[in-house]
Structure 1
Amino acid sequence: MLKKERQEKILALVNQHDYLSIAEIAKTLDVSDMTIRRDITELANQSLLVKIYGGAQKLEKIEHELSTQEKIDTNVAEKKFIGKVMNSIISDNDTIYIGAGTTMLHALPELKKANLFVITNSLLAFNYLIYNTDYRVLLTGGEFSRTTEEFYGETAEKSFENLNIDIAFAATNGIFENNITTANLVEGSIQRVAFKHSRKKCIVADSSKFNRSDVYTFYSLSDIDYLITDDKLSETTFDYYRSFTEILKEEQK
């Protein structure tokens, strides 16, 4: 069997089963484990699948970015769970950054700490905070995205000058290997600026966001402090991604 044909078969098998071990693929294709291991490495380097310990997982490509309204009713329970985990690592009187996204919107009602100062570039988060909390709130300026309902660009990024943030929380469209991805560079840029001004850097992502890739990588998992997710993340996926950073999927005591 030619290498190209073999790798196409590997991709087809992984895409069909979501996850397969090296031994399972080798047995199915009747080739050595070493050959399959090399093929998986090459396919992972081409961002065609996710190489994990002992096997490979399907990588889902995001075809286009859904609007906030299209995403607002998806995985609500998981996003609220994430909010409880976020609350457990925030302290009273903290200054925090809340990025855009429906994960953040559903997480906000779970924040119970006192005297927070919240910086956000999300119009949805801003509206929730001013009508439902007594927190101090700073909304960045900037150009407005009607798709994600957030502010971005140079004006938004200048809002962070002279700010000292305790914890910054940013969402993502997809995570694969060491990559935190987004639909466009300008949305990722403001998250990077917020992280630059923060003591702690946190990415929030429900379990459906793993092994998915959007167009641009805006940050590396290994450069953040915490990856916060829900309790539905599989143990296989958890074991793989915790090699890059600390994963929190339960409230911290």
Structure 2
Amino acid sequence: MLKTERHQKILNLCETHGIVSVKLIQDNLAVSDMTIRRDLKELADNEQLHRVHGGAQSLNYEYQAAEMSQLRQELSHTEKKQISTNEKNYIAKKAASIIQQTDESIFLGPGTTIELMTEFINISRLRVITNSLPVFNLLKEKDNFELHLIGGEYRNKTGAFVGAMAIEMLNKININKAFIGVNALQDDQVFTFNIEEGNLQQLVLEKATEKYLLADSQKFDEIDFYSFYKLSDVDALFTDSSLDLEVKKDYEQYTKIIN
């Protein structure tokens, strides 16, 4: 199918449904999701539709607030654990492999991919700092780790501690390597759902000597509610092996992509 034909079909779907998901477009066009994401980006750049998280919206669509709220709903920790599990394991193992020096201070942020990293960290002595209760629970039995849990306001959706108390504690800590999961990536912008989590993750990355992001290939060419960092300011981004080569090339202008 020619690109112009795909674009017209996507616009027709948007006009028919108002808001469409990448999955709906894929089902109708029988092309890869990465092709669709590139098409949506081009159409949005040409002001032919609006990009929204997980899909696109017609320029003429008058939607109800309840529908938009549902579209932007943050997934629970349990729901996230069921998504892209093979890809997350692949990313977690790759990211953990660069933790090789003993006695380092590393920060592990919240997120199901970073939780999986705990299975692959094999260092005799390590200081681990986290604001994630699930990460803390996975590591608390490892006697060779010096484990620090950053406290604060608890977010049940992600199992993370955030807010002023967490920020105050982090301001006093030095970090060698930071590993942060993200919800979406578009061009040089890195997104998450929650502003408080984004602010804390921004501080962590600013304080870290080496800064690393983790995101499966479905997070590329997407947006979420809050942009908290620039991709060009991190040392590398870990993703899975299914990332489209053209997409990888586009994002390598900002940082090193490891997959």
Partner of 1:87: 96
The one of 192, 196, 211 equivalent to 2:221 is 211
Please give the alpha-carbon distance, in whole angstroms, between the structure 2 residues aligned to 1:220 and 1:10.
Answer: 33
Secondary structure at 1:194 match in 2: helix
Displacement of 1:211: 1.9
Identity %: 31
Please give the alpha-carbon distance, in whole angstroms, between the structure 1 residues aligned to 2:186 and 2:166.
Answer: 28
> Unaligned regions of 5+ residues in structure 1, if any?
1-5, 25-36, 50-57
1:9 aligns with 2:8: yes
Please give the alpha-carbon distance, in whole angstroms, between the structure 1 residues aligned to 2:207 and 2:56.
Answer: 32
**8 Å CA contact 2:44, 2:50 repeated in 1:** no
Structure 2-normalised TM-score?
Answer: 0.76
1:48 aligns with 2:31: no
Deviations 1:157-208 (A, max 9, x none): 1111232211101111111221111112101011011112110111101112
Please give the alpha-carbon distance, in whole angstroms, between the structure 1 residues aligned to 2:174 and 2:244.
Answer: 36
> Unaligned regions of 5+ residues in structure 2, if any?
14-21, 26-30, 58-67
Secondary structure at 1:239 match in 2: helix
**8 Å CA contact 1:177, 1:211 repeated in 2:** yes
Please give the alpha-carbon distance, in whole angstroms, between the structure 2 residues aligned to 1:87 and 1:103.
Answer: 11
Secondary structure at 2:82 match in 1: coil
Show the 5 A alignment for 1:94-133: 94-132=104-142
Name the stretch that deviates more: 81-90 or 175-184. 81-90
Please give the alpha-carbon distance, in whole angstroms, between the structure 2 residues aligned to 1:69 and 1:212.
Answer: 22
Please give the alpha-carbon distance, in whole angstroms, between the structure 2 residues aligned to 1:59 and 1:173.
Answer: 17
Report which structure shows greater RCO (CA 8 Å, sep ≥6).
1
Please give the alpha-carbon distance, in whole angstroms, between the structure 2 residues aligned to 1:13 and 1:108.
Answer: 46
**8 Å CA contact 2:96, 2:121 repeated in 1:** yes
The one of 199, 214, 223 equivalent to 2:233 is 223
Deviations 1:55-78 (A, max 9, x none): xxx779962210101111322222
The one of 67, 86, 96 equivalent to 1:77 is 86
**8 Å CA contact 1:98, 1:168 repeated in 2:** yes
Structure 1-normalised TM-score?
Answer: 0.77
Please give the alpha-carbon distance, in whole angstroms, between the structure 1 residues aligned to 2:120 and 2:158.
Answer: 22
The one of 238, 241, 248 equivalent to 1:238 is 248
Question: Which amino acid is 1:247 matched to?
Answer: I
Please give the alpha-carbon distance, in whole angstroms, between the structure 1 residues aligned to 2:132 and 2:209.
Answer: 21
**8 Å CA contact 1:95, 1:117 repeated in 2:** yes
Deviations 1:64-120 (A, max 9, x none): 210101111322222221122112222222210000011111121011122111100
Secondary structure at 1:80 match in 2: helix
Please give the alpha-carbon distance, in whole angstroms, between the structure 2 residues aligned to 1:163 and 1:132.
Answer: 22
Secondary structure at 2:202 match in 1: helix
Please give the alpha-carbon distance, in whole angstroms, between the structure 2 residues aligned to 1:186 and 1:40.
Answer: 28
**8 Å CA contact 1:121, 1:140 repeated in 2:** yes
Please give the alpha-carbon distance, in whole angstroms, between the structure 2 residues aligned to 1:125 and 1:63.
Answer: 26
